Structure 1
Amino acid sequence: MSGALMIQGTSSDSGKSTLVGALCRLARRRGLRVAPFKPQNMSLNSAVTVDGGEIGRAQAWQALAAGIVPEVDMNPVLLKPNSDIGAQVIIHGHAVGNYNAVAYHAFKPKALQAVLASFGRLRQRMDCVLIEGAGSPAEVNLRANDIANMGFAEAADVPVILVADIDRGGVFAQIIGTLACLSEAERARIKGIVINKFRGDVALLKPGLDWVEAQTGQRVLGVVPFVPGLWLDGEDMLPSARRAAATSAHALRVVVPALPRISNHTDFDALRAHPQVDFSYVRAGEPIPPADLVILPGSKSVQRDLAWLRANGWEAYLQRHLRYQGKVIGVCGGMQMLGRALHDPHGIESEVTATAGLGLLDYVTTLEAEKQLVNTTGQLAFAAAAVRGYEIHMGVTHGPALANPALYLGEPPRPEGALSADGQVLATYLHGLFDAPEACAALLRWAGLNDVAQIDHDARREASIDQLADAVEAALDMDAIWALLD
């Protein structure tokens, strides 16, 4: 094989990422060299690649499904929103500036060159490339200069499968409406339809499938069932539902504020899945529940999100929480919030040049133009537990509190982060802090949990990928899909 196939969706969250990931695993099982590819991604969940760049988190786990390491060519354009109308634009893994929507639209022809260059390099090295669209091709207001959906498919001359989400309802209207918004040439590029997240007896759906095929002239390649309990890295949106209650009678209560510009919330997947942790995100306007551990997450706009914390009562809550011996962790942007002040002299995140921090640790952060991007390993400073993860930040932090580090990272080991003198407040730039089983267990013990179970988050992700691939293989006409790749 030396082909490529693009998966586009009738909407966001229709199942494009999971279908590409499943097909990557199935291609790998066939002995094929396969790579995922997303021309343009808009996400605040990102990963650091082996070649020192930054890509969307979904492409990183899809690479894992394909049995290869993530690299910048898998997601050549990444948009990281930092306001309602603007985003940081990342090309081939590195930031090139902040653009509003109008400016980025004018920039798209240059972005397309980067996209096609990356796609060409992957095609040369791989037996097949599985491409993920973004949002929906039916967004007619974005059709001009499109590089994410049909604009790319036409430029690269690749076939398309359209996936629709039946779980949200109106699946037949999704399909018919999407096709109606496409040009004749674009509709001809679609080679089949997949219905995703079905619950129930497929036989009851058969009349609808026949009707869709008659109305559209497109073949339905299969109906993928809803697969519960999968643990796969989220592309962007916070989980919409609370997880099931912890199974332990003495669960540790962990609370995370759902910042408007929260980034890399996949940091907490290992905690959300832990049977001894009662985990909850707290959104705007919701009462803040009692907690044993509060974690301030990463943020793409730290000063704006710090203002949101104050407006929603978190500053007073944290003071009370600490008086009652609770624990606090700040990760990346959350670490910056815990200090005395945050300076942005170059206007990297906002027009505000300085903001007072929460003052829980004695240091100051200054935002610099160059972003730090590194994968790293190390050890907790207060326990014999290995950690691994990655750093993505534009802040440089200095101050006395760093003399008592939270971790030691790299080789030779360097001190990183801070731990307060009373041992209640921990700060670090390391994303993935809870991913290593021994580090997660040690941090939960530090936060007050006894007899901690060690959960292997990586093994659970691998098992989820295999479970998803098995479900897709059983549900779809795989001979037809492999034929499109041949």
Structure 2
Amino acid sequence: MPTLMVQGCTSDAGKSTLVAGLCRVFKRRGLSVAPFKPQNMALNSAVTADGGEIGRAQALQAQAAGIAPTVHMNPVLLKPNTDTGAQVILQGQALLNLEAWDYHHYKPKAAAAVFDSYERLKQAYPYILVEGAGSPAEINLRAGDIANMGFAEAADCPVILIADIDRGGVFAHLVGTLALLSPTEQARIKGFVINRFRGDIGLLKSGLAWLEKHTGKPVLGVLPYLHGLHLDAEDALPEQQGSDARFRVIVPVLPHISNHTDFEPLRLHPQLDFRYIRHNEPIPAADLIILPGSKNTGYDLDWLRSQGWEARLQQHLRYGGKLMGICGGLQMLGTGIYDPQGIEGTTCYHQGLGLLELETVLHPNKQLINRRGVLASDPSIVLQGYEIHCGQSVGQALERPATYLEGEPEGARSADDQIFASYLHGLFDSPAAVTALLTWAGLEAAQSIDINAIREQQLERLADSLEAELQLEQILAIMH
């Protein structure tokens, strides 16, 4: 089956975006295509219909292709829980925690999952678009590689190489990456794509001609810098945007923050001054504070305290501010977090913030499920999202649920209704829920925002750009 792999000179060169855009272009042409990323390291993830966990970027690429995401689109997902270790998820299921060196020796097992999933996708879809990870020129990681050229060589598929010109040094990136590959790998690269160009294309043409002559490989397109392109990030936080809005929402950037894509509807909301607060930044006054999800809740709770958040949260509540906790944020708001089996790396107990009467015990069996329900405060507000967590919470606070999911009470609200906590990711994806929760938080005449419609608009905009700037017939010829 025709397969094409997109590799990048660096992380964040535009691999995920290019694959998403090509998926939408292929869909427009009536071609049945599936995205595939052999190995991903990211803390933004999604739950598939078949009950597994994959990188958020692959779920977006599946949406671009017009198909349902499955675990086989991202068979190896690594979720860092320390600076040197990660939870290993194979074909959607969390199996174990490994240090980086130990994972290096685990790669043969991971490779088996990769090629099993690849074969399954090939049986279901005539076209496969594969996304690499990081850079193929990371020579210290070449042994047993399944993320870049190791996969491409084993699958015998062509590769196009993308580089980000906005960072500078684009020709050095492309030529240097090529030089660090073996002769067979160099031959496998069939062309280049230059991403995020802004300026006069005439000034670039001499460089493009030199690049093609020097390498013997074509430039398949120069993609413009698309200002304000809003697509779910694979892992990196989006750039801060200034706002003149008076209603302020802040979210602490936890060291292991996960699924920060939850907050895209708020970040793009025209009535909000939304800000991420990073390490050692002053904590400003806000109308609404949200504690996000975390891959290492206990560690990140200690970090919150070290940054002065505990005292600021108490002050915030005394002055009538509203507070939300999503997933790991819910657990932090309770009285304690127990990790008797070392799910997050070490066996320990962490005292919670004590703002809700509930405690959490971490268990090895991860909850992975798509959910539908309603807000407890207004059953007319329909919710749709997903749960990804190891913790099970119990306590009196749960007797005042935040939501009802499939008819069952979920989450917690404080007795004074200043705190709302839920395990549900994607809580703000419902336009009605955005309006209701912002109204609860104190925003007058809160407007709705439809993030799913925005995603579709942005995918169409991206596809328009690719159709205008890429040599698509040449790319299809390379695939065949």
User: Is the TM value for this pair above 0.5?
Assistant: yes
Matches within 5 A, 1:8-47: 8-47=7-46
Q: Give 1:244 shift.
A: 3.3
- 1:193 aligned partner: 192
The answer as to whether partners of 2:373 and 2:403 remain within 8 angstroms in 1 is yes
- 1:340 aligned partner: 335
Matches within 5 A, 1:81-100: 81-100=80-99
Q: Residue type matched to 1:363 in 2? A: L
**1:383-442: CA deviation from partner (whole Å, max 9, x where unpaired):** 2311110000000000000000000002xx000000000000111000011110000110
- 1:177 aligned partner: 176
C-alpha separation between the residues in 1 aligned to 2:229 and 2:173? 25
Is the aligned partner of 1:394 residue 2:390?
yes
Is the aligned partner of 1:286 residue 2:287?
no
C-alpha separation between the residues in 2 aligned to 1:244 and 1:211? 40
- 2:102 aligned partner: 103
Give secondary structure in 1 for the equivalent of 2:443: coil
Q: 1:440 aligns with which of 431, 434, 437?
A: 434
The answer as to whether partners of 2:3 and 2:128 remain within 8 angstroms in 1 is yes
Q: Give 1:111 shift.
A: 0.7
Name segments (4+ residues, structure 1) moved above 2 Å.
none
Give secondary structure in 1 for the equivalent of 2:350: strand
Q: Give 1:156 shift.
A: 0.6
Which runs of no fewer than 5 residues in structure 2 stay unpaired?
Answer: none
Q: 2:455 aligns with which of 453, 461, 484?
A: 461
**1:339-365: CA deviation from partner (whole Å, max 9, x where unpaired):** 000000001113242110000000000
Q: Residue type matched to 1:167 in 2? A: D
C-alpha separation between the residues in 2 aligned to 1:244 and 1:158? 43
- 2:206 aligned partner: 207
**1:132-159: CA deviation from partner (whole Å, max 9, x where unpaired):** 0000000000000000000000011100
The answer as to whether partners of 2:197 and 2:224 remain within 8 angstroms in 1 is yes
Matches within 5 A, 1:208-247: 208-239=207-238, 241-246=239-244
Give secondary structure in 2 for the equivalent of 1:167: helix
- 2:313 aligned partner: 318
With the length of structure 1 as denominator, give the TM-score of the two structures: 0.98
Q: Residue type matched to 1:8 in 2? A: Q
C-alpha separation between the residues in 1 aligned to 2:259 and 2:38? 20
C-alpha separation between the residues in 2 aligned to 1:65 and 1:173? 32
Is the aligned partner of 1:419 residue 2:417?
no
Is the aligned partner of 1:404 residue 2:395?
no
**1:259-302: CA deviation from partner (whole Å, max 9, x where unpaired):** 01000000000000000011000011110000000000000000
The answer as to whether partners of 2:159 and 2:190 remain within 8 angstroms in 1 is yes
Q: Residue type matched to 1:328 in 2? A: L
Q: Name the % identity.
A: 61
With the length of structure 2 as denominator, give the TM-score of the two structures: 0.99
Give secondary structure in 2 for the equivalent of 1:148: coil
Matches within 5 A, 1:269-284: 269-284=264-279
C-alpha separation between the residues in 1 aligned to 2:51 and 2:242? 37
Is the aligned partner of 1:120 residue 2:104?
no
Q: Residue type matched to 2:359 in 1? A: V
Q: Residue type matched to 1:415 in 2? A: P
Q: Give 1:484 shift.
A: 1.7
Give secondary structure in 1 for the equivalent of 2:166: coil
C-alpha separation between the residues in 2 aligned to 1:224 and 1:390? 34
Q: Residue type matched to 2:367 in 1? A: Q
The answer as to whether partners of 2:52 and 2:70 remain within 8 angstroms in 1 is yes
C-alpha separation between the residues in 2 aligned to 1:416 and 1:48? 18
Count of residues paired in the alignment: 479
Matches within 5 A, 1:121-140: 121-140=120-139
- 2:474 aligned partner: 480
Q: Residue type matched to 1:262 in 2? A: I
- 2:68 aligned partner: 69
Matches within 5 A, 1:290-309: 290-309=285-304
C-alpha separation between the residues in 1 aligned to 2:224 and 2:156? 30
Q: Give 1:216 shift.
A: 1.1
- 1:261 aligned partner: 256
C-alpha separation between the residues in 2 aligned to 1:124 and 1:190? 25
C-alpha separation between the residues in 2 aligned to 1:217 and 1:261? 43
Q: Residue type matched to 1:144 in 2? A: A
C-alpha separation between the residues in 1 aligned to 2:250 and 2:439? 16
**1:185-220: CA deviation from partner (whole Å, max 9, x where unpaired):** 100000000000000121110001011111111111
Which runs of no fewer than 5 residues in structure 1 stay unpaired?
Answer: none
**1:47-77: CA deviation from partner (whole Å, max 9, x where unpaired):** 0001000000000000000000110000000
C-alpha separation between the residues in 2 aligned to 1:396 and 1:40? 29
The answer as to whether partners of 2:335 and 2:352 remain within 8 angstroms in 1 is yes
- 1:430 aligned partner: 424
Q: Give 1:473 shift.
A: 1.1
C-alpha separation between the residues in 1 aligned to 2:374 and 2:167? 44
Q: Residue type matched to 2:338 in 1? A: H
CA RMSD between the two structures: 0.8
C-alpha separation between the residues in 1 aligned to 2:29 and 2:476? 10
Q: Residue type matched to 2:285 in 1? A: P
Q: Residue type matched to 1:243 in 2? A: Q
Is the aligned partner of 1:328 residue 2:327?
no
Give secondary structure in 2 for the equivalent of 1:289: coil
Q: Residue type matched to 2:339 in 1? A: D
**1:161-182: CA deviation from partner (whole Å, max 9, x where unpaired):** 0000001111011011101111
C-alpha separation between the residues in 1 aligned to 2:351 and 2:143? 43
Matches within 5 A, 1:360-371: 360-371=355-366
Give secondary structure in 1 for the equivalent of 2:310: helix
The answer as to whether partners of 2:97 and 2:345 remain within 8 angstroms in 1 is no
Give secondary structure in 1 for the equivalent of 2:5: strand
Give secondary structure in 2 for the equivalent of 1:434: helix
